[in-house]
Amino acid sequence: MFFGSNKMVVKSPRSKMVIGNSLFYPIVGFASFAVFIYMSFGDLWMNFHGETKLSFVERNGTQFLVEGQAFYVNGWNSYWLMDHAVDENRRPRIKAILQAGAKMGLTVCRAWAFNDGAYNALQISPGKFDEKVFTALDHVIAEARKYRIRLLLSLVNNLHAYGGKTQYVNWAWEEGVGLSSSNDSFFYDPTTRLYFKNYVKTVLTRKNTFTGIEYRDDPTIFAWELINEPRCLTDPSGDTLQDWIEEMSTFIKSIDRNHLLTVGLEGFYGPKSSKSLTVNPEFWAADLGADFIRNSEIPTVDFASVHVYPDQWLRNQSFEEKVQFVRKWLLSHIHDGDKVLRKPVMFTEFGLSTENKEFDPEKRDKFFKVILDIIYKSARRNLSGAGSFFWQFLVEGMEEYNDDFGIVPWERPSTYQLITEHSCRLAKLHGALSTQKVYLKSLCSSHS
Ligand SMILES: *[C@@H]1O[C@H](CO)[C@@H](O)[C@H](O)[C@H]1NC(C)=O
Ligand SMILES: *[C@@H]1O[C@H](CO)[C@@H](O)[C@H](O)[C@H]1NC(C)=O
Ligand SMILES: *[C@@H]1O[C@H](CO)[C@@H](O)[C@H](O)[C@H]1NC(C)=O
Ligand SMILES: *[C@@H]1O[C@H](CO)[C@@H](O)[C@H](O)[C@H]1NC(C)=O
């Protein structure tokens, strides 16, 4: 998110509950759907003993594959997993959200695998790790494995929350070796580059204390994300960020050949792209030092990532205009995925702010549906639009971790229904993951 919106610790008033009632499938559709689900998943339901082997997610051109079948992701963000796992009292929330996610038929959760120098830091100072916090991250991965949820793990923040690039720059500066106090020097200072590589290597080669599996060998991890929402305003040419992405993605591949890798971009087109004028939300978006095509084209980047924040990016437009923008934004990136990049494209964050004066929860459902429908159509046509991740899901009692985007999905029946129907229709298209069938059996048949 761009305009001053902090993704953590922003209190927001609870919005009132509106119970939606729109049935997605007509009754006849439901009946045949239920039969389909029974025929497809019945056996597995009977045979399920709680242990199904997970395999690595692979890529075949513009599609993800799991066990040789196309895989389109219904995913969500809960950035707070590691942080909460540190504290005994808050740890049950990890299980609660992962179990709830699995029950909703969701397959991938995006979360932070970093906390640099802040409260509950994983990296206390360069190369110095807090074992208690590492064990918390072990716990998160072990729990995700239990519920067959894969994790998209981000390795550093461009923003200030949980340390981020600014913390790396401050460390170098404090040690008297930093080139500059500008937080963008994170990308070009040899010292901060080394700090980051050291961090990455430690995380990727970490042996999970619960499962005994090194992170780089663990198929519970869907993919690595280099950095959340990178921008390098001091070099709008984009060369600085590009160079960093090339070096870091190559470095990660030298340690871990198992996992896919993405950048973590917001998806803006750079100044040389004609789409900077036609698709970008506003003029500023081309001058952030990032470029969706150039950054995602690198061979060491396996899939592209895009965020969707219409009310942060288009500040003076109606809801209908924002929806127009969102459609164009998604279709443009999916087109790029198919025709230019030849890689999957994932919409790894999307949300509407409850702080916006126009906000209402029904509009938010409409906005969600626009995105989910585009992914569904992409899946139906075997296109590159490979998944979407709600920003963000919480469990009850987490108000202090809510930004103005958080949702407790089971508190909003209409939203919950939207999410679960999307899980079911995706599974119907390409088949459910073998590890997911046990959840879909009850979920998708209960719709009838
Ligand atoms: C991989 O993609 C190609 C075309 O892009 C397709 O012909 C082939 O069947 C795919 N392989 C699998 C295992 O899906
Ligand atoms: C980076 O530095 C610039 C200029 O001082 C500042 O505006 C921006 O907020 C900083 N970003 C972060 C993430 O700290
Ligand atoms: C916002 O929209 C109103 C009415 O359409 C217009 O008068 C105003 O100038 C706009 N503000 C900005 C910053 O574009
Ligand atoms: C999509 O790919 C699957 C195989 O993975 C194939 O069965 C199906 O016909 C394809 N659909 C379209 C519209 O090409």
Catalytic residue among 143, 225, 266, 349: 349
Domain count across the chain: 1
Is the Cβ–Cβ distance between 422 and 372 less than 8 Å?
Answer: yes
Is the Cβ–Cβ distance between 136 and 144 less than 8 Å?
Answer: no
> What pLDDT score does 332 carry?
98
**Which-ligand-closest: CA of 315?**
3
Please state the pTM of the whole predicted model.
Answer: 0.89
Residue 299: pLDDT over 90: yes
Identify whether 80 is part of a domain: yes
Residue 39 pLDDT class (50, 70, 90 cuts): very low
User: Each residue of 243-257: pLDDT tens digit?
Assistant: 999 999 999 999 999
Residue 23: pLDDT over 50: no
**Which-ligand-closest: CA of 65?**
1
Residue 301 pLDDT class (50, 70, 90 cuts): very high
> What pLDDT score does 136 carry?
98
70 pocket-lining for ligand 4 (C-beta < 6 Å): yes
What residue has token string 């990032």? Answer: 290
Identify whether 230 is part of a domain: yes
Identify whether 24 is part of a domain: no
Which residue puts its alpha carbon closest to atom 14 of ligand 2? Answer: 160
Number of other CB atoms surrounding residue 272 within 10 Å: 12
Identify whether 125 is part of a domain: yes
281 pocket-lining for ligand 2 (C-beta < 6 Å): no
User: Each residue of 157-173: pLDDT tens digit?
Assistant: 999 999 999 999 999 99
Identify whether 29 is part of a domain: no
User: Each residue of 43-67: pLDDT tens digit?
Assistant: 333 334 445 689 999 999 999 999 9
CATH number of the domain where residue 342 is located: 3.20.20.80
> What pLDDT score does 445 carry?
82
> What pLDDT score does 338 carry?
98
Q: What is the mean pLDDT of the chain?
A: 90
Identify whether 18 is part of a domain: no
Identify whether 34 is part of a domain: no
Identify whether 359 is part of a domain: yes
> What pLDDT score does 52 carry?
62
Beta bridge partners of 388: 74, 347
362 an active-site residue?
no
Calculate mean pLDDT across residues 427-444: 91
Number of other CB atoms surrounding residue 431 within 10 Å: 17
321 an active-site residue?
no
- Domain hosting residue 403, numbered range: 65-445
